[in-house]
Amino acid sequence: MTTPSGPDDGRPEPGLSAIMSERRQLINLAYRLLGSLADAEDVVQETYARWYTMSPGRRDAIAAPGGWLTKVASRICLDLLRSARVRRESYVGEWIPEPLPDSTEWISGRSGGATAEPADPADRITLDESVNMAFLVVLDSMTPAERLAFILHDVFRYPFGEVAEIVGRTPAACRQLASSARRRLRTERAPVTPTPRAQRAAVVREFKEAWQAKDIEALIGLLDPDATGIGDGGGFVSAELRPVKGAELIARGFASLVERAPDLTFLERTVNGQPGLVAQQDGVTGTVLAFDISGDRITHIWAVRNPEKLRLWTTG
């Protein structure tokens, strides 16, 4: 690889390829920690900036550059998580993590739009159980230290000794943080028999068809009686400011959306690794919906409408 190493000189850096190969790992880590791809990209950019502001001698002295990059990115994320609680106080309505399409469906990079350059494959998030919307929402309820300890150890398999160096606590304290995070997951996500993907997709398809038809009874039949619907408009577009609870209220709310916008188009898409829906008007994505499904009933719907969180879904 012959890319220049940075501002220090114009000569290629022998280890640059190895350094840049850490980018996907860092993006994956930062997204799971922050729930925002935009913030994750900023974190990774800042991490590499700190690497290249060091002298070549200091960089050469680092025995494990990948570990150094992970440590720096994690600490930046920890600072952002701590400040996020303050920033959320001024956020309009509910905050939902940024939804991700399937990697084959990513439309563009940071700028969005059909004419933008294709997204860098290194920016794509590996979609697995640790990025489904229900999981991310529970992560967001954790303390910053719990979230960091849990993600580093349980998801990325870092030993507690290394986690301790990043979090700034003892290994024993980090074990307790991760244990507390697991308890929170068990408490907030009641154990259920996993619903096969094909069955989940069938439920989502039935919901789409009932929604298009404004069939309130069919929508109610697909929803758990205690289902919860959450919208995120961020103050930019209309959305419910508080969670909507109960199958009938949710069903009537979705039916009314079609009444107000009869030209909506509904597409079945993968959202954070799970079957979801996209609602478009005049070819432009206005809403991305993620679902949590137990058996043949929908228990949660997350409707992301904040345009700042839909840049990867923009088609016009």
What are the start-end ranges of the E strands in 161-247?
223-232, 244-245
How would you label 226-256 residue by residue, b for 16+ Cβ within 10 Å and e otherwise? ebbbbbbbbeeeebbeeebebbeebbebbbe
Residue 115 pLDDT more than 60? no
| Amino acid residing at 246 | G
| β-pairing verdict for 4-6 and 9-12 | antiparallel
- Reported as type and span, the H/E element at residue 292 is strand 284-294
Q: What are 287's strand-pairing partners?
A: 279
Residue 9 pLDDT more than 90? no
Sign of CA dihedral 231, 234, 240, 245: positive
For residues 246 and 180, what is the distance between their CA atoms, to the nearest angstrom?
30
| Residue 106 banded pLDDT, cuts 50, 70, 90 | low
Residue 27 pLDDT more than 90? yes
Residues sharing a CB contact under 8 Å with residue 261, sequence separation 6 or more, in sequence order: 281
Lowest mean pLDDT among 32-46, 92-106, 214-228: 92-106
Question: Are the C-beta atoms of 220 and 247 separated by less than 8 Å?
Answer: yes
Question: Are the C-beta atoms of 109 and 45 separated by less than 8 Å?
Answer: no
Extract the tokens encoding 283.
């070819």
Give the pLDDT of residue 189.
73
Please give the domain boundaries of the chain with CATH numbers for all domains: 4-188 (no CATH), 197-313 (3.10.450.50)
Q: What is the pLDDT of residues 289-312, one digit of tens each?
A: 999 999 999 999 999 999 999 999
Q: What is the pLDDT of residues 38-60, one digit of tens each?
A: 999 999 999 999 999 999 999 99
| β-pairing verdict for 223-232 and 297-304 | parallel
Lowest mean pLDDT among 4-13, 69-78, 121-130, 258-267: 4-13
For residues 221-243, average pLDDT: 96
Over pLDDT 90: what percentage of the chain?
Answer: 74
Q: What are 300's strand-pairing partners?
A: 228, 292
| Amino acid residing at 204 | V
Give the pLDDT of residue 1.
30
Neighbours of 221 (CB within 10 A): 14
For residues 273 and 250, what is the distance between their CA atoms, to the nearest angstrom?
24
Q: What is the 3-state secondary structure (H, E, C) of 194-261?
A: CCCHHHHHHHHHHHHHHHHCCCHHHHHHHEEEEEEEEEECCCCCCCCCCCEECHHHHHHHHHHHHHHC
| Residue 18 banded pLDDT, cuts 50, 70, 90 | confident
Q: What are 223's strand-pairing partners?
A: 298
Give the pLDDT of residue 7.
44
- Quick one: 137 exposed, middle or buried, by C-beta within 10 A (0-12, 13-18, 19+)? buried
Give the pLDDT of residue 191.
55
For residues 265-275, average pLDDT: 95
Question: Are the C-beta atoms of 287 and 303 separated by less than 8 Å?
Answer: yes
Extract the tokens encoding 221.
């039949």
Q: State the pTM of this model.
A: 0.87
| Residue 122 banded pLDDT, cuts 50, 70, 90 | low
Question: Are the C-beta atoms of 226 and 246 separated by less than 8 Å?
Answer: yes
Residue 143 pLDDT more than 50? yes
Angstrom CA distances, 313 to 94, 211, 259, 284, 316, stand at: 20, 21, 24, 8, 9
